[in-house]
């Protein structure tokens, strides 16, 4: 019996290098993750950061899934929503609308931050100025940049109507920053109320919203002016924040959290089944009633249930986030919180504008009225995420203190931001 010599296999030059590089890259990534975990102070409440990251991610996910475009014959883009045709998807908004958790965590974090500032000899006014500056810098940055982009894109052939669509998308999440700034300014009063009456300080806000809703939606609705709902604007969003303050002050424990979870869920179901509140937590074109702008009692019911669940899951989440691989993305998301909030709509718009040149692109510029559109839109989400990361790599500097930026540049940024607001609101 004879045996043949094996035929030598010729490997393409360089194919072994990428394979050899992968373990090295994994090792570097692992080392970076472990270093990030090691640098985290022992007193850091990982569960609070994890809840904030979850609430933050729900904002772009919700806007990217429940927002869309329609394209005119001339290529102009208009905002649209799949909920107009696919109303049965409304329960998705119950999961994606996590502003109740965001305000809960915000109230908790503000109390701890104010406490640390006071321990270091800082005044309340100085603490508040620092918090408001952290909120304002990214907003000023995104609006100033868009003020420059509008004439530039128009010069490249993008229609004014399409640019207004984009401007609306940018403005859409920024209302939240204004409301959050106001409730943050009320932190000392919220702390005093929590110490005096505990969670009842939040219950009063819920009763207020219920009373306003009873007037604007009840038997006397025809006699109530249209602006009446604005009376819910501050109490409605302050509700979750006040719960967070109570939590930080030790006035919201597990028994109260169970009441919030079960009571909030029961109230939510009753409002949907017996009082005919809209099922969607976000605005749907064509509907005469909107839950979130201003917040209705349904929003507070959902916030109560979410807040109760968050308090009950805190310890389990803290244990989970002791794992460095899970903790690292939470840190990165929190470090880029305002960048995510301010620029995620721009990322979606950046994908849609060039796609509009190709016509009605499924899942992007085609009418969002079928389940097929939704399936394709899911495939677009990673594209939006990559664009957001690329945009954030440049714009995240707006979150940092503007050291070295003179008064003239700051004034210019303010003028540009004002000009963009005039354009976005349709006054120019």
d(CA 172, CA 345): 9
Contact of 75 with 366, CB cutoff 8 Å:
no
Burial of 101 (0-12, 13-18, 19+ CB in 10 A): buried
- Average the pLDDT over each of 146-150, 343-347, 406-410 and give the range with the smallest value: 406-410
**Within a domain: 142:** yes
SS3 10: coil
Maximal C-alpha separation, the chain = 104
Other Cβ atoms closer than 10 A to 235: 21
Q: What are the distances in angstroms from CA 260 to CA 193, 201, 291, 347?
A: 19, 14, 20, 36
User: Is residue 2 pLDDT above 60, yes or no?
Assistant: no
Q: Give the per-residue pLDDT at 16.
A: 54
Helical spans, DSSP H, in 40-123 = 46-66, 91-96, 99-119
Output the pLDDT for position 19. 62
CA distance 331 to 337: 10
pLDDT at 179 exceeding the cut of 60:
yes
Average pLDDT over every residue of 79-101: 91
Sign of CA dihedral 402, 404, 410, 412: negative
Q: Is the pLDDT of residue 10 over 70?
A: no
In this structure, is residue 309 part of a structural domain? yes
Asked whether residue 44 is assigned to any structural domain, the reply reads no
Task: Give per-residue pLDDT as tens, 41-58.
Answer: 877 899 999 999 999 999
Averaged pLDDT, 283-293: 82
Specify the length of the chain in residues. 428
Q: DSSP secondary structure string, 109-153?
A: HHHHHHHHHHHTT--HHHHHHHHHHHHHHHHHHHHHHHHHHHHHH
Comparing 139 with 37, the larger pLDDT belongs to: 139
User: Dihedral of CA 109/115/117/119: which sign?
Assistant: negative
The percent of residues above 90 in pLDDT, for the chain, comes to 76
Q: Is the pLDDT of residue 400 over 90?
A: no
Contact 77, 353 (CB under 8 A): yes
* 7 found inside a domain: no
Tokens at 348, concatenated? 């979606």
- CA–CA separation, 390 vs 293, rounded Å? 31
CB of 297 closer than 8 Å to CB of 209: yes
Residue 188: inside a domain: yes
As for how many domains the chain has, the answer is 1
3-state class of 334 per DSSP?
Answer: helix
Chain-wide mean pLDDT for the chain? 91
Q: Is the pLDDT of residue 172 over 90?
A: no
* pLDDT computed for residue 43 by the predictor: 77
More confident position, 35 or 132:
132
- Convert the pLDDT of each residue in 116-166 to its tens digit: 999 999 999 999 999 999 999 999 999 999 999 999 999 999 999 999 999
- For tokens 């810098």, the residue is 137
Helices 337-356 and 371-395: crossing angle in degrees, nearest 10, is: 120
C-alpha closest to that of 387 among 157, 60, 55? 60
Average pLDDT over residues 60-89: 92
**Does residue 183 lie in a domain region?**
yes
Cα–Cα distance for residue pair 340/102, rounded to 1 Å? 14
Contact of 135 with 177, CB cutoff 8 Å: yes
- Where residue 175 falls among pLDDT bands split at 50, 70, 90? confident
- Specify the DSSP element, H or E, that contains 379: helix 371-395
At a CB cut-off of 8 Å and minimum separation 6, what does 173 contact? Answer: 59, 63, 341, 342, 344, 345
Q: Given this model, what pLDDT does residue 226 score?
A: 86
Tokens found for residue 213: 């809703």
**pLDDT of the residue at 210:** 97
Residue 311 in any domain: the answer is yes
Residue 206 belongs to domain spanning: 88-155+175-331+399-424
In this prediction, residue 293 has a pLDDT band, given cuts at 50, 70 and 90, of confident
Q: Which contiguous run of DSSP H or E holds residue 390?
A: helix 371-395
Contact at 8 Å (CB) between 204 and 300? no
Task: Provide the token pair at 376.
Answer: 């394709």
pTM: 0.91
- The model's pLDDT over 237-257, given as tens digits with 9 standing for 90+, comes to 999 999 999 999 999 999 999
Q: How far apart are CA 330 and CA 137, in angstroms?
A: 22
Instruction: Give the three-class secondary structure for 69.
Output: strand
Q: Tell me whether residue 11 is in a domain.
A: no
Nearest to 384 by CA among 358, 363, 404, 366: 363
């Amino acid at each position: 019996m004879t045996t043949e010599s094996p035929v030598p296999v010729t490997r393409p030059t360089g194919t072994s290098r990428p394979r050899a590089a992968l373990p090295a890259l994994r090792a570097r990534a692992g080392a970076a993750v472990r270093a990030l975990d090691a640098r985290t102070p022992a007193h850091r409440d990982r569960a609070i950061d994890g809840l904030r990251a979850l609430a933050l991610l729900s904002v772009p996910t919700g806007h990217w899934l429940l927002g869309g475009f329609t394209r005119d014959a001339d290529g102009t883009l208009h905002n649209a929503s799949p909920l107009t045709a696919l109303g049965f998807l409304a329960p998705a908004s119950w999961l994606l609308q996590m502003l109740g958790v965001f305000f809960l965590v915000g109230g908790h974090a503000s109390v701890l931050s104010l406490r640390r500032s006071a321990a270091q000899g800082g005044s309340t006014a100085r603490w508040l100025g620092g918090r408001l500056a952290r909120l304002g810098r990214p907003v000023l940055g995104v609006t100033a940049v868009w003020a420059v982009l509008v004439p530039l894109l128009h010069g490249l052939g993008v229609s004014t109507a399409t640019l207004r669509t984009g401007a609306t998308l940018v403005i859409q999440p920024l209302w939240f920053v204004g409301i959050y700034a106001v409730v943050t300014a009320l932190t000392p009063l919220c702390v005093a109320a929590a110490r005096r009456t505990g969670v009842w300080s939040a219950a009063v806000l819920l009763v207020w919203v219920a009373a306003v809703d009873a007037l604007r939606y009840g038997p006397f609705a025809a006699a109530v002016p249209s602006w009446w709902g604005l009376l819910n604007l501050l109490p409605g969003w302050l509700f979750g924040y006040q719960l967070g303050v109570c939590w930080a002050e030790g006035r919201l424990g597990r028994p109260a959290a169970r009441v919030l979870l079960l009571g909030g869920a029961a109230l939510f179901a009753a409002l949907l089944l017996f009082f005919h509140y809209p099922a969607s937590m976000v605005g749907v074109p064509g509907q005469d009633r909107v839950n979130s702008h201003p917040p209705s009692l349904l929003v507070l019911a959902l916030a109560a249930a979410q807040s109760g669940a968050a308090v009950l899951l805190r310890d389990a989440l803290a244990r989970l986030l002791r794992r460095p691989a899970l903790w690292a993305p939470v840190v990165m998301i929190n470090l880029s919180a305002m960048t995510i909030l301010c620029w995620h709509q721009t990322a979606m718009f950046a994908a849609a504008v060039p796609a509009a040149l190709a016509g009605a692109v499924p899942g992007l510029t085609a009418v969002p009225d079928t389940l097929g559109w939704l399936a394709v839109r899911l495939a677009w989400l990673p594209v939006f995420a990559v664009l957001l990361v690329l945009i954030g790599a440049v714009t995240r500097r707006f979150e940092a203190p503007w050291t070295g930026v003179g008064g003239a540049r700051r004034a210019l940024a303010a003028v540009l931001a004002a000009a963009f607001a005039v354009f976005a609101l349709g006054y120019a």
